Each structure stands twice: as C-alpha cells, then as structure tokens.
Chain A
Amino acid sequence: MLVVVSTALAVGIGVPLGVALTRRPRLARPVLGFANVVQTIPSLALFGFLIPIPFIGGIGARTAIAALIVYALLPILRNTHAGIASVDPAVIESATGLGMTKRQRLWLVELPLALPVVLAGVRIATVVSIGLATIAAAIGAGGLGVLIYRGVAIVDHRLILAGAVPAALLALAADAGLGFAERRLR
C-alpha cells in the first residue's frame, strides 16, 4: 500500500535529517519553519504541482508517494528533533564524560531515549497519510480513494462508505498499533 512505502521513506529521510538538525541548531528553525509551510499546502494542489515534475511527477502512484512523503516528513522531522533535544543534558554530559564518541552517544543514548517521541511522529505521519492517500486517487494512484470518488460521481452513498469506512478503520488500527508500541517503549 501507498502509505507503507511513503511512511517508510519519510522515516528514512526524516530521522537522519532530524538528527542532523540537532547538530546544527542554527539551521533547525528555518528548516522546521519551511517544513511547516509546506505542510499547509492543500494536498490536491501539491499533487497538482508534482505532476509536471520529471521523474517524480506524472499521473499515478509515484507522484502520490512523493506527495505523501512530503506530508509525513514534517511530523517525523519535528519529533526526531524534539526527541533528541529533550534528552536530559546531564545524561548527555555523562555519556560524553565517560568517553563515548559522538556516534556511540547517538546510537547508545540519544536515539534510544528519543525513540518514543520519534514513534509518536511516525504515528501522526501514518494517520495523516492514510487520509491523504484516498485523495491520491484523484491523480490515478488507485486505492480506496477510487471507491470514494466513484461514489461521489454517481451519488452512491454505499460506494462512498465502502471506501471511507475501511480507510478510517485502517487509520484507527495504525494509530492504536503504533500507540501501543510507543507506550511499551516509555
């Protein structure tokens, strides 16, 4: 499914980028601000913008995945940055003082302690993406959105619900599942 691919890619981009931002505090504000602005672009408009762009654009699933990554990126980026920035400074200081290299400190201390917050970001990203993915049907990406659009077109409530209900259930299930994982980690 679209959402799994796009969220996985957004994690792959967002987490390293979030970590990089904690290392360059001066860049953090403008980058997070820019990501915030992008987030406010209406999704249909973003799909529209992406279509003419070569390689990632065009009609179909590839454009939809690119757009979903853009939306999923902000919560993941923001939470990774916040999660690492919120690690107790005394813990960072003792990690450094005991002789951890920067890389050891990141993998052994900072990332594990930030993990619940990062996961909360992934959860938000997933839920948002499931909702948006139904709109992606408008640009021919397929999925449950197709049922919704067809239902709207022929004014068939049952067809709309056949698309909307599973999409909502999927979002709830993803939210509950990731929420459970997050609590287990705390």
Chain B
Amino acid sequence: MIEFRDVRKSFGEARPVLDGLSFSVAEGETLALVGPSGCGKTTALKLVNRLLDHDSGEVRVFGRDVRGEDPIALRRRLGYVIQEAGLFPHWSVKENVEAVPRLLGWKQAERHARSEELLALVALPAAEYGERRPRQLSGGQRQRVGVARALAADPPVLLMDEPFGALDPIARRSMQKEFLDWKRRLRKAVLLVTHDLREAFRLGDRVAILDRGKARQTGTPREILAAPADDFVREFVSDELPGAPP
C-alpha cells in the first residue's frame, strides 16, 4: 500500500534528513517506523500525504507515485493522526469526526450514522460525548477523537505520527491495547511513527529502525531481537529494552 524506494529529502543543510530510505507497508499491516528524535520520522510520514515533497527516489501509495496525484484527493484517502490530535477547537466532537465526510459531500444522515459508529468504536458514545468541545475532553479522549476523525471516510491507509506520545504512561498503555483491538477489527494498512521502541514492538507487525536517513533494519520484532543487523540496531535495542536478549 505504501512503498519508499531510495527516498532522499533535505531541508537545505549539508546532510539530508532522509538519505536513501526504503521500506514498504503491505495491505492490512502495521509498520512501525522508529528512531531517535529528529531522525526524520515525521518528515518521512509527511512525504506520504504530500505535506512535504521528496527530492529524489520514489514514494508510492496504492501502487502509484504520489507525485502524480492531486494532494487534496490523496489526503482524503489517507487517515492522518498527529501527536496533539489537532482537533478543531471550535467544533464539537461529532463535527470533528464528520470533517472529511463533509469535505467529500456525504449526506447528513450518512455522516451522523458514521460518526456514531466511530465514536462507539473509540469508546466515546455519541450520546454522551458527541456535543462536547475538544477542550472538555482529557488528552486520551482527544486522541481517540483524532483516530475516529482519521477513520471517518474509511481510508484504506492510516498515517499516525506519535499518536500516543503526549499521553501519560497509563493512558498510553490503554490506548495501545485499544489500538491492537481496532487494528484487528479494521484491517487497515498503518504507518506508525514513534521514538519509543517498546511501543513499536508492541504495535507493529513489522518495525523499521531509522538512523541517519536510512532504515537500518526492517523486520518483525522477533527477527530484530534475534539478529540485529548492525551495531546501531544492537545498541538501540539494548538501550531501549534493557533485559532483552543481547
């Protein structure tokens, strides 16, 4: 569903942020892109929905080069969840969830049915939470609304940038559990970005470890633990997961 081939992107400094990044995300699969802060994870994600454009290489979504796609139409087929949720503060929870269906011109009855269904999925029943404003919700609840909003038009692909990064450890843990539950039910292709290897191993079917603009290793958590590809991966894993097999 998503494919990066030898992608390069720089912001004009000497060293490019992404320097030959390659990986792919299959249908129904969750790929967790993990690496230290500032290594270019967000940049990579934004190349997919064309909030940024790459310099060279290829970014393909749904089998087609993103550079040939209309960015507006492309974004409406890609769910997007960011760390601070970015909910529209002047709209109710329901209106937030119905944002993309509204842009797509769905009828009101269809929109309402959809937002009720999704709010139920993220455990915020519309009857109780639908009319609230984002500021009347906790951080975890806002993040759930962010997920519901991203899923509203039933996009086959979901892009998530540190979606649980701003939550306290307890809320994060419970959101991670729920994520696994949504994932099983919805079977979307998910590209999830995080700096937390533990989270990447929990949520990703496969994990790509990013360093100096490249994926150092891509594989299932088991593969990475069993055979780290190089010293960077070995150290990253032993620093982040003390107690894991060397």
CA distance A99 to B71 in the complex (A): 8
What's the least CB distance linking B217 to chain A, in Å? 29
Interface size on B, residues (CB 8 A): 23
CA distance A101 to B73 in the complex (A): 10
Q: Which residues of B contact A112 (CB under 8 A)?
A: 90
Stretch at the interface among B13-21, B78-86, B117-125: B78-86
Inter-subunit contact B82/A98 (CB<8 Å): no
Chain A interface size, under 10 / 10 to 19 / 20 to 34 / 35 or more: 10 to 19
Interface status of B179 (Cβ within 8 A of chain A): no
In chain B, what residue has the closest Cβ to A94? B86
What's the least CB distance linking A140 to chain B, in Å? 46
Inter-subunit contact A90/B103 (CB<8 Å): no
What's the least CB distance linking B136 to chain A, in Å? 15
**Of the candidates B76, B86, B90, B103, which one forms a contact with A93 in the assembled complex, judged by CB atoms under 8 Å apart?**
B86
Inter-subunit contact A96/B51 (CB<8 Å): yes
In chain B, what residue has the closest Cβ to A113? B90
Interface status of B75 (Cβ within 8 A of chain A): yes
Q: Which residues of B contact A108 (CB under 8 A)?
A: 88
CA distance A47 to B88 in the complex (A): 45
In chain B, what residue has the closest Cβ to A101? B72
Inter-subunit contact B89/A91 (CB<8 Å): yes
**Of the candidates A97, A101, A109, which one forms a contact with B80 in the assembled complex, judged by CB atoms under 8 Å apart?**
A97
Known contacts A90-B82, A91-B88, A98 near B51 by CB under 8 Å: no
Interface status of B192 (Cβ within 8 A of chain A): no
**Of the candidates B83, B89, B103, which one forms a contact with A98 in the assembled complex, judged by CB atoms under 8 Å apart?**
B103
What's the least CB distance linking B150 to chain A, in Å? 8
Q: Which residues of B contact A109 (CB under 8 A)?
A: 88
Q: Which residues of A contact B210 (CB under 8 A)?
A: none
- Taken residue by residue from 81 to 121, chain A's Cβ proximity to chain B (1 for < 8 Å, 0 otherwise) reads as 00000001011011111111100100011001100000000
**Of the candidates A91, A99, A101, A104, which one forms a contact with B87 in the assembled complex, judged by CB atoms under 8 Å apart?**
A91
Inter-subunit contact B89/A113 (CB<8 Å): yes
Interface residues of B in 93-111 (CB under 8 A from A): 99-100, 103
CA distance A97 to B149 in the complex (A): 12
In chain B, what residue has the closest Cβ to A109? B88
In chain A, what residue has the closest Cβ to B152? A98
11 contacts between A and B (CB under 8 A): A90-B83, A94-B87, A94-B146, A97-B75, A98-B80, A99-B74, A99-B75, A100-B72, A101-B72, A113-B89, A113-B90
